[in-house]
């Protein structure tokens, strides 16, 4: 099975200008995808609304994976996402993530908790902003 991972998914979703959002999502997220971020659940449509909003705010950035584990249809990682916003400010968040893969290797479910390392108080909800 060819599986996705967080670095590749986030790069396609947020850091690859010109890549269509639906195409990026279809590469990495199953049709029945659900995500819980800091306790709040979103279905795939709600998640893509969030990503569409972020695409208007994010000018660039990087993903650094610190720890990563694949075991059968399960995935876990700890990564830092650094975002350079269109206003020039920087936000850095550390993310603790647990996921389940669909049989085709795309994410079916992600549950994550975020920890803000750098940024303005108004950016604390960037992980779920719309």
- Residue 17 gets which letter from DSSP? T
Residue 124 is predicted with a pLDDT of 78
Predicted confidence band of residue 108 (pLDDT cuts 50, 70, 90): very high
Residue 129 is predicted with a pLDDT of 61
Torsional sign, CA 47, 51, 57, 63: positive
Question: How would you label 32-65 residue by residue, b for 16+ Cβ within 10 Å and e otherwise?
Answer: ebbbebeeeebebeebbebbeebeeebeebebee
Q: What is the dihedral of CA 72, 75, 76, 79, to 10 degrees?
A: 140
Q: What is the mean pLDDT of the chain?
A: 94
The residue-averaged pLDDT of 70-90 equals: 97
Residue 1 is predicted with a pLDDT of 64
Q: Is residue 83 a contact partner of residue 11, using CB atoms and an 8 Å limit?
A: no
Beta strands in the chain (DSSP E): 29-37, 40-43, 58-71, 74-85, 90-101, 107-118
Is the confidence at residue 54, as pLDDT, over 90? yes
Is the confidence at residue 130, as pLDDT, over 70? no
**Helix, strand or coil, per DSSP, at residue 101:** strand
Single pTM value for the model: 0.91
Cα distance from N-terminal residue to C-terminal residue, the chain: 33
């Amino acid at each position: 099975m060819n599986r996705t991972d967080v670095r590749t998914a986030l790069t396609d979703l947020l850091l690859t200008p010109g890549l269509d959002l639906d195409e990026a999502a279809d590469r990495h997220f199953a049709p029945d995808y659900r995500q819980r971020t800091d306790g709040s659940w979103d279905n795939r449509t709600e998640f893509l609304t969030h990503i569409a909003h972020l695409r208007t705010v994010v000018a660039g950035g990087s993903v650094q994976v610190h720890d990563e584990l694949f075991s059968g249809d399960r995935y876990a990682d700890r990564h830092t996402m650094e975002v350079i916003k269109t206003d020039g400010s920087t936000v850095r968040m550390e993310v603790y993530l647990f996921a389940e893969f669909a049989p085709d290797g795309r994410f079916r479910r992600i549950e994550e908790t975020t920890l803000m390392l750098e940024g303005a108080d108004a950016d604390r909800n960037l992980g779920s902003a719309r």
